[in-house]
């Protein structure tokens, strides 16, 4: 029989390596400042989740150290020594079994009770004063409607800091999941039911942007189904609402006018709405397209170049995009882009 | 030791285990447990969609309770016939057993033909098909798979009957016929459940 | 009474067969085990390549190594392959090879059905992977959520390959389940009461019940999907009032027991390896057994913890949360019992032990992140993100795969008659452990900083770049570790150190027979007094009792009296007919009907193969 056993020196080296690995990965890297982090919540919903997360994290860390430590200790202390006799053939110890079973159950009670409390707290009914937002998940972009203000927009969700918002989630096609990590947990968007999230974003000092993304695989461009949440400090949300409620800008730029002309004569009008110009409901509402910094499911920045390229060949920029390729020439797309980018 | 005696006997019959139980019978029981989960899932699907059809005929617009009660009676009777077939086989009366197997299979076939009649009536005269509404989808798939199970059983019993008539099946094959019987009784019990849950309960 | 032709190697009948034919018609559980194991390993490599391509694509933001469609096919096939074509058949290879050996039997209850299970599995695996060759690999995720899987949103045949492939694979698993349940109940050696069964047998036993009771749920779910896609039913059609969540319920009622199907065999292996290499019995074996049974039961009651984000309401969320936390108790109990087995032992650090220790360490981590997921509010942040990807890789790779490799290194000498190389084994272990952790530990972070799963690319300004690159490097280290394993196999398969019957000073019956075992396993049927019967025969019970009586030496007469089941070509033919019938759904109804008729005829032939002929035909 081969004689190979783990020497104390070797065990110490391994332990050191593991510790360095763990430390290196844990500290020195801040999860705190990430644009889509879940550990620095900016809403009440996010904070309630974070409370439980912290409780469970610390509890599991203690268990982790105890169990892994016990394992490593056994490996070091009870390694085979040459000439050692057969160890005592212990079969078990019932009181110990009962003891640690009860201990585990107690730990889970400590985790379970706050969990149930928060489950119910996060699923309470909305109040009449909540800001009502309809979130509609399409393949592969997000639509946002504010029925109280008669506003429909896409890709960018504006919220007033400090006011409770009630999101009603609608899915006209397949299952999606609405996730704004910095503001709280996700909720699936399921056809034929209306799910709900209620949260109150913190009041920011300046207008703050929080990226979001679809979190339920929904087809080819699931990865491209993104959105941005813009939380406004006191008083600024109302300004945004007024700007959205205003009729579309009528640009005097000749290129933009050419673009408008092309738009009204093409099949674009069948899918898109621009107040006073067209009434299509398949694609995003474009009335205030240029008030948004991104487009196409918040995939790209709204630059003239990007918009023109998108109009010419949507599938090139977003695989599987449902906006058809209408064979628009680059002359035409430049004009149409100018038109869209005039719609502030 | 008794263990050795059992073991010594078991060596000669590959179908009997050290417990003295027949592998095939045990296997059939476990298969039936699995099939319970199968039908349970189908019945659960039916129940979860009950009353949720958006349009089209509903159960009590189309069901012919007298006919389906008759079908249920057929299956119940066929289970009795199956028991009699097994009894005759045990008494070494192979021809009589073949007769009872025939009657069991015939009752089962009659059940299936009734079901074919029911399905065609629904499709052609009541406007109820697989794709009509949720009721159509759930009803046809659930009862259709049950009917397929019955059909499989009829085939099995017919083969056993033919083997018996040709002298290739006798009292030594009791277990083989017994497991066919277990399957048949199961199919009957599932029908009782379906009949009660789908046809009778409003 | 049915008789089976005696068939022993070395006889005239055996010599007349070609090697290939002998493998195609084998009904020997040991050969079937080798077939499962070899196939599983090949599919494991395929699944691994799929993973590496994904990791290469994700190493950098906005990468263009593969298209969105290809990536979506890759993650679908990687998950499906690893679960159904790698881990499950690897477990099956151990069920097949080791269960009869460890219960003192000569084969399983239904040897031809056993072969049928394997050939149906292979048919399903090839059918599923043929989709790659046709350029339409499944792309709906391994979980195929409705209504993305409907023909409205997935009109091409990709989903059909997945749907039908899984049905075929399900039949294989269920047939094997019936076989092993009957084998374990009915074929234990005299004296082996249920509580004297080795713990690997117990864990396998519970797994078989999970297989036969959980698969029907997904069978029904897939049937409903098939009818929707082929015959226009409305089961998952929201426009007709159908509920996509019906699919999720049916899928997860299967899917949750499925994960216990994936982990329990590995837990069983660890429960054998630790006592052997610690030289003392499994601590609290009855508690480990009862924990396994409890996990099996409770496993049917937690399925909706995969659905905490779908909006089931606070009551359902709470109920499933509590049930899920409850399951953590027996799991934790097992882990402590394993560690207590090491306590006071005399640990011989060989490769099998390293992998079992790795299992405990990694599975514990996966289990703890699982406890986080058990809390719905926390899960709302973690589900569908890379956090849960990290969680399940810790339990499935860190758990199942490490456990299965422990079994491979442990039982390889029994199966092959030669030892694997220890040094290469340790290199494999350490590289795999390090590579695995470098790949998956950072994915916890990626989840916590908002990276969703199943995305083929990501924006460069979200802070995900660094950890994705690290994770990819880890994947490449894992690849290296597998190459070392392959080199080890190639190096030692013909020329490794001869193992002898008992290279590890084992405790259970399989170590009491030659390596590799003769076709009949045991010349004399053993009589069992204890779970560690063989240890008892060698050393006594350690409390002053004498060693148990060893079985007497076998005589030529003993061996001549053994009847082994004859080989048969009906299993492979029947499997081909079933595959022909089901694949016909993608070709034409005529093929389905023809395949169906062939299936019925071959089933008849299979059943009648050993039935006696009509009187007057002689025998």
Domain presence at residue B4: no
Tell me, which fold does domain A8-24+35-78+99-122 have in CATH? Helix Hairpins (1.10.287)
How far apart (Å, rounded) are the C-alpha atoms in residues C315 and C350?
Answer: 49
Contact C224 B14 (CB under 8 A): no
Per-residue pLDDT of A101-120, as tens digits, reads: 999 999 999 999 999 999 99
pLDDT tens, position by position, A230-279: 999 999 999 999 999 999 989 999 999 999 999 999 999 999 999 999 99
Q: What is the pLDDT of residue C612?
A: 80
A223/C450 Cβ within 8 A: no
pLDDT score of A8 = 60
Average pLDDT value for chain B: 93
How much of chain A, in percent, has pLDDT values that exceed 70? 93
Query: Is the peptide bond prior to A140 cis by the omega test (within 30 degrees of 0)?
Result: yes
Q: How many residues does chain A have?
A: 344
pLDDT band at B202 (very low <50, low <70, confident <90, very high): confident
The answer to whether residue C242 neighbours chain A at the CB level (below 8 Å) is yes
- C334 catalytically annotated: yes
Range of the domain at B150: 35-200
- B57 compared with B11, residue with greater pLDDT: B57
Q: What is the mean pLDDT of residues B151-167?
A: 97
Q: A86 and chain C: CB distance < 8 Å anywhere?
A: yes
Joined tokens for residue C381: 């942040």
Say yes or no: A74 contacts chain C, CB-CB below 8 A: yes
In-domain check, residue B120: yes
Report the CATH architecture of A254-340. Sandwich (2.60)
* Cα C199 to Cα B19, C264, C266, distances in angstroms: 20, 10, 11
| C131 part of the active site | no
> Which residues in chain C land under pLDDT 70?
1-17, 542, 544, 614-619
How many structural domains is chain B composed of? 1
Residue B10 lies in a domain: no
From chain B, the residues in CB contact with C223 under 8 A are 141, 145
pLDDT digits (tens, 9 = 90+) for A172-189: 999 999 999 999 999 999
Residue C11: the pLDDT is 57
Question: Shortest CA distance to C147 belongs to which of C237, C229, C226, C26?
Answer: C237
Distance from CA of B31 to the nearest CA of C (A): 7
Contact B155 C212 (CB under 8 A): no
Q: Which residues have C-beta within 8 Å of that of residue A24, sequence separation ≥ 6?
A: none
Query: Model confidence over A61-78: pLDDT tens digits?
Result: 999 999 999 999 999 999
Question: What is the full DSSP assignment across C298-339?
Answer: HGGG-GGGG-TTS---HHHHHHHHHHHHHHHHHHHHHHHHHH
Q: Which C residues, 14 through 33, put their C-beta within 8 Å of a C-beta on chain B?
A: none
State whether C287 and A220 contact (CB < 8 Å).
no
In the stretch 23-42 of chain A, residues with CB closer than 8 A to chain C read 25, 29, 31, 33-39
Mutate to test the interface with B, among C110, C151, C219, C233 (most CBs of B within 10 A): C233
Contact between chain B and chain A (3 or more Cβ pairs less than 8 Å apart): no
Give the CATH H-level superfamily of domain A131-245: Cupredoxins -  blue copper proteins (2.60.40.420)
Chain C, residues 424-443, CB within 8 A of chain A, namely 437, 441-442
Residue B18 maps to a domain: no
Query: Is residue B149 in some structural domain?
Result: yes
Asked if C56 has any chain B CB less than 8 Å from its own CB, the reply is: no
CA atoms within 13 A on the CB side of A344: 3
CB-based burial, C143-162: b 16+ in 10 Å, e otherwise:
bbbbbbbbeebbeebbbbbb
- For chain B, say whether C592 makes contact (Cβ under 8 Å): no
Locate C141 and state its tokens: 């995720």
Residue C450: its chain A contacts at CB < 8 A?
Answer: 34-38, 179, 181-182, 211, 213
Is residue C529 flagged as an active site residue? no
Q: Give how far C613 is from chain B: nearest CA, Å.
A: 6
Question: Residue B52 is part of a domain; what is its CATH number?
Answer: 1.20.120.80
Chain C, residues 269-288, CB within 8 A of chain A, namely 278-281, 283-287
Chain B, chain C: beta-carbon pairs less than 8 Å apart: 138
- Cβ within 8 Å, pair B34-C235: no
Q: Which tops the pLDDT comparison, A30 or C500? A: C500
**Residue A155 contacts residue A294 (beta carbons within 8 Å):** yes
CATH topology of domain C27-548+562-567: Cytochrome C Oxidase; Chain A (1.20.210)
| pLDDT for the residue numbered B68 | 95
Q: Please indicate whether the domains covering A8-24+35-78+99-122 and A131-245 agree at the CATH topology level.
A: no
Catalytic residue list contains C271: yes
The interface pTM score, or ipTM, of the predicted complex is: 0.94
Q: What mean pLDDT is predicted for residues A52-65? A: 96
Set of chain C residues whose Cβ sits within 8 Å of the Cβ of A179: 384, 450, 452
pLDDT band at A20 (very low <50, low <70, confident <90, very high): low
Place of tokens 């002998």: C22
Question: What local confidence, expressed as pLDDT, does residue A23 receive?
Answer: 65
Instruction: Tell me the nearest-neighbour CA distance from C482 into chain B, angstroms.
Output: 38
Residue of C nearest to A218 (CA): C148
The residue ranges of every structural domain in chain A are: 8-24+35-78+99-122, 131-245, 254-340
């Amino acid at each position: 029989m081969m004689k190979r056993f783990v020497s104390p020196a070797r065990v110490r080296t391994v332990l050191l390596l593991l510790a360095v690995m763990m430390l290196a990965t844990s500290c020195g890297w801040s999860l705190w400042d990430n644009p889509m982090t879940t550990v620095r919540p900016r809403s009440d919903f996010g904070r309630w989740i974070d409370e439980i997360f912290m409780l469970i994290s610390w509890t599991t860390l203690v268990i982790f150290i105890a169990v892994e430590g016990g394992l490593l200790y056994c490996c070091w202390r009870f390694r085979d020594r040459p000439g050692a006799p057969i160890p005592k053939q212990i079969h078990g110890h019932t009181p110990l079994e009962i003891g640690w079973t009860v201990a585990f159950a107690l730990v889970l009670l400590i985790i379970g009770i706050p969990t149930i409390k928060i489950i119910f707290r996060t699923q309470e009914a909305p109040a009449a004063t909540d800001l009502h937002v309809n979130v509609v998940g399409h393949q592969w972009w997000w639509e946002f409607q504010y029925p109280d203000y008669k506003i429909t927009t896409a890709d960018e969700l504006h919220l007033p800091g400090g006011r409770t918002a009630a999101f009603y989630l609608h899915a006209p096609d397949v299952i999606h999941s609405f996730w704004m990590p910095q503001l709280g947990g996700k909720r699936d968007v399921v056809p034929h039911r209306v799910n709900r999230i209620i949260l109150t974003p913190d009041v920011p000092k300046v207008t703050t942007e929080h990226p979001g993304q679809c979190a339920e695989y929904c087809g080819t461009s699931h990865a491209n189904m993104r959105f941005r949440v813009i939380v406004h400090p006191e008083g600024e949300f109302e300004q945004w609402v007024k700007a959205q409620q205003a009729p579309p800008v009528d640009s005097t730029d000749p290129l933009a006018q050419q673009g408008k002309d092309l738009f009204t004569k093409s099949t674009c009008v069948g899918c898109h709405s621009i107040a006073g110009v067209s009434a299509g409901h398949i694609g995003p509402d474009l009335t205030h397209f240029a008030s948004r910094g991104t487009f196409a499911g918040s995939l790209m920045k709204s630059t003239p170049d990007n918009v023109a390229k998108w109009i010419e060949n949507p599938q090139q920029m977003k695989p599987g995009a449902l906006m058809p390729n209408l064979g628009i020439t680059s002359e035409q797309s430049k004009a149409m882009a100018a038109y869209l980018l005039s719609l502030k | 030791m008794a263990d050795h005696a059992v073991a010594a006997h078991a060596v000669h019959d590959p179908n009997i285990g050290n417990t003295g139980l027949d592998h095939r019978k045990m296997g059939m029981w476990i298969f039936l447990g699995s099939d319970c989960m199968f039908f349970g899932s189908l019945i659960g699907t039916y129940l979860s969609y009950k009353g949720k059809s958006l349009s089209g005929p509903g159960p009590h617009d189309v069901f012919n309770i007298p006919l389906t009660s008759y079908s249920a009676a057929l299956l119940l009777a066929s289970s009795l016939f199956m028991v009699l077939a097994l009894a005759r086989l045990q008494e070494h009366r192979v021809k009589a057993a073949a007769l009872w197997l025939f009657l069991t299979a015939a009752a089962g076939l009659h059940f299936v033909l009734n079901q074919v009649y029911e399905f065609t009536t629904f499709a052609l005269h009541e406007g109820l098909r697989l794709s009509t509404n949720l009721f159509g989808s759930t009803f046809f798939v659930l009862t259709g798979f049950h009917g397929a199970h019955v059909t499989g059983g009829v085939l099995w019993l017919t083969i056993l009957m033919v083997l018996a008539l040709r002298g290739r099946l006798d009292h030594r094959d009791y277990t083989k016929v017994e497991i066919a019987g277990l399957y048949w009784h199961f199919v009957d019990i599932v029908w009782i459940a379906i009949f009660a849950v789908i046809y009778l309960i409003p | 009474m049915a008789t089976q032709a005696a068939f022993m190697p070395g006889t005239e009948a055996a010599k007349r067969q070609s090697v290939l034919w002998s493998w195609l018609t084998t009904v020997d559980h040991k050969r079937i085990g080798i077939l499962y194991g070899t196939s599983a390993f090949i599919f494991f490599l395929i699944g691994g390549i799929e993973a590496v391509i994904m990791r290469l694509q994700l190493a950098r933001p906005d990468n263009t190594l593969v298209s969105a469609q290809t990536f979506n096919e890759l993650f679908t096939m990687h998950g499906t392959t690893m679960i159904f074509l790698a881990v499950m058949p690897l477990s099956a290879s151990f069920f097949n090879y080791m269960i009869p050996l460890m219960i003192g039997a000569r084969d399983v209850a239904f040897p031809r059905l056993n072969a049928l299970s394997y050939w149906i599995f292979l048919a399903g695996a090839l059918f599923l992977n043929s989709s790659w060759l046709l350029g339409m690999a499944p792309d709906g995720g391994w979980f195929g959520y409705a209504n993305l899987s409907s023909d409205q949103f997935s009109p091409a045949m990709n989903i059909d390959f997945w749907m039908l492939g899984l049905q075929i694979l399900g039949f294989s698993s269920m047939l094997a389940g019936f076989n092993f349940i009957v084998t374990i109940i009915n074929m234990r050696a005299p004296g082996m009461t249920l509580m004297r069964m080795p713990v690997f047998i117990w864990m396998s036993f519970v797994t078989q019940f999970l297989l036969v009771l959980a698969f029907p749920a997904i069978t029904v779910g897939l049937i409903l999907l098939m009818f929707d896609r082929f015959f226009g039913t409305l089961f998952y059609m929201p426009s007709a009032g159908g509920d996509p969540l019906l699919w999720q319920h049916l899928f997860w009622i299967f899917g949750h027991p499925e994960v216990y199907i994936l982990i329990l065999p590995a837990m069983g292996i660890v429960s054998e390896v630790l006592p052997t290499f610690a030289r003392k019995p499994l601590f609290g074996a009855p508690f480990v057994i009862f924990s396994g049974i409890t996990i099996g039961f409770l496993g049917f009651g937690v399925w909706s913890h995969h659905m905490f984000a779908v909006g089931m309401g606070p009551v359902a969320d709470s109920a499933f949360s509590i049930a899920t936390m409850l399951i953590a108790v027996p799991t934790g109990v097992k882990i402590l019992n394993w560690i207590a087995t090491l306590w006071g032992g005399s640990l011989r650090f060989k490769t099998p032990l390293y992998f079992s220790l790795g299992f405990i360490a990694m599975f514990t981590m996966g289990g703890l992140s699982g406890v986080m997921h058990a809390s719905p509010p926390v899960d709302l942040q973690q589900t569908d993100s890379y956090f849960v990807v990290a969680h399940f890789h810790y339990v499935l790779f860190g758990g199942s795969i490490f456990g299965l490799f422990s079994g491979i290194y442990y039982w390889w000498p029994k199966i092959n008659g030669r030892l694997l190389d220890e040094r290469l084994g340790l290199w494999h272990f350490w590289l795999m452990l390090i590579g695995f952790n470098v790949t998956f530990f950072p994915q916890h972070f990626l989840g916590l900083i908002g990276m969703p799963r199943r995305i083929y690319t990501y924006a460069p300004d979200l802070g995900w770049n660094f950890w994705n690159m690290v994770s990819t490097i880890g994947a490449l280290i894992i690849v290296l570790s597998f190459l070392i394993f392959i080199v080890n196999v190639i190096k030692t398969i013909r020329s490794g150190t001869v193992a002898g019957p008992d290279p590890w000073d084992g405790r259970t019956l399989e170590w009491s027979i030659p390596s590799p075992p003769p076709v009949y396993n045991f010349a004399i049927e053993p009589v069992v007094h204890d779970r560690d019967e063989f240890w008892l025969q060698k050393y006594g019970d350690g409390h002053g009792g004498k060693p148990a009586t060893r079985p007497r030496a076998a005589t030529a007469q003993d061996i001549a009296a053994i009847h082994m089941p004859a080989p048969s070509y009906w299993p492979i033919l029947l499997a081909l007919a079933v595959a022909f019938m089901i694949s016909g759904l993608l070709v034409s109804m005529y093929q389905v009907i023809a395949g169906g008729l062939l299936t019925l005829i071959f089933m008849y032939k299979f059943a009648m193969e050993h039935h006696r002929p009509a009187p007057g035909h002689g025998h």
